Structure 1
Amino acid sequence: MALPQLSDADRKAALKKAVETRQKRAQLKAKIKKGNVSLSEVLNKSSDPIVGRMKVLDLLNSLPGIGKVRSQKIMEQLKISSTRRIAGLGSRQKEQLTKELA
């Protein structure tokens, strides 16, 4: 399938939207890091496109006290793919994550 040809205006609009989305996701990660937003709050907002398209590994890395190694171990232990996004988590996986990190 060929990519659609975008005009310069369409390309600029898409670029602006992508930048805004990344900034909102970075703000969310900062709130998580500070402890202003809990894991369960984030998991409950999985229908929000900003939250839903965030990788679970990035979410775990944003939690205070959890680094890259520990987050990878948690993902392996719960059998969650390292490329899984929050919107793709099942209800059991959400429960397991919440229970593991409570």
Structure 2
Amino acid sequence: MGLNPLTSEERSRAVSKATAARARRAEAKSALKAGTLGLDELFEQAMADEALARLKVTEMLESFHGIGPVRSLAILDQLGIAPSRRLRGLGIHQRRALIDFLEAQ
């Protein structure tokens, strides 16, 4: 079963929506890196913002200074969080564990 073909107008709307979502996620990661956005705020915003809800937890971790791909996977393993998780998929205890871990660093 294939996907329905999109008209050129539908395709251009989808491209615009995807571009805006990528820009929103990049903006949030930059704010995390700069320290102008806290994790509590990010999780709160992700509840209402679909683009942020789809941000991968590994990408979010990698936006912090000193955390790269290897360290982000090690952190997730230590906290018992699957590497494929997105912000929307985190439970309350997983969020709290991430916040506590990063505040302790």
Normalising by the residue count of structure 1, what TM-score does the alignment of the two structures yield?
0.92
CA distance in 2, matches of 1:46, 1:90: 13
Instruction: Please state how far the C-alpha of 1:24 moved relative to its aligned partner.
Output: 1.4
Question: For residue 24 of structure 1, what is the amino acid of its counterpart?
Answer: R
Aligned to 2:72: 71
Give unmatched runs, 5+ long, in structure 2: none
- Asked if residue 28 in structure 1 is aligned to residue 28 in structure 2, the reply is yes
Instruction: Please state how far the C-alpha of 1:44 moved relative to its aligned partner.
Output: 2.2
Q: What are the Cα deviations for residues 60-92 of structure 1, in whole angstroms up to 9, with x where unaligned?
A: 001223222221111001111111000000001
CA distance in 1, matches of 2:28, 2:56: 13
Aligned to 1:60: 61
Instruction: Please state how far the C-alpha of 1:3 moved relative to its aligned partner.
Output: 0.5
**Alpha-carbon contact 1:55-1:86 (below 8 Å) kept:** yes
Identical amino acids, percent of aligned pairs = 38
Equivalent position SS for 1:75: helix
Normalising by the residue count of structure 2, what TM-score does the alignment of the two structures yield?
0.89
**Alpha-carbon contact 1:34-1:64 (below 8 Å) kept:** no
CA distance in 1, matches of 2:65, 2:45: 19
Aligned-pair Cα RMSD in Å: 1.2
Equivalent position SS for 2:84: coil
Instruction: Please state how far the C-alpha of 1:51 moved relative to its aligned partner.
Output: 1.3
Length, aligned pairs only: 102
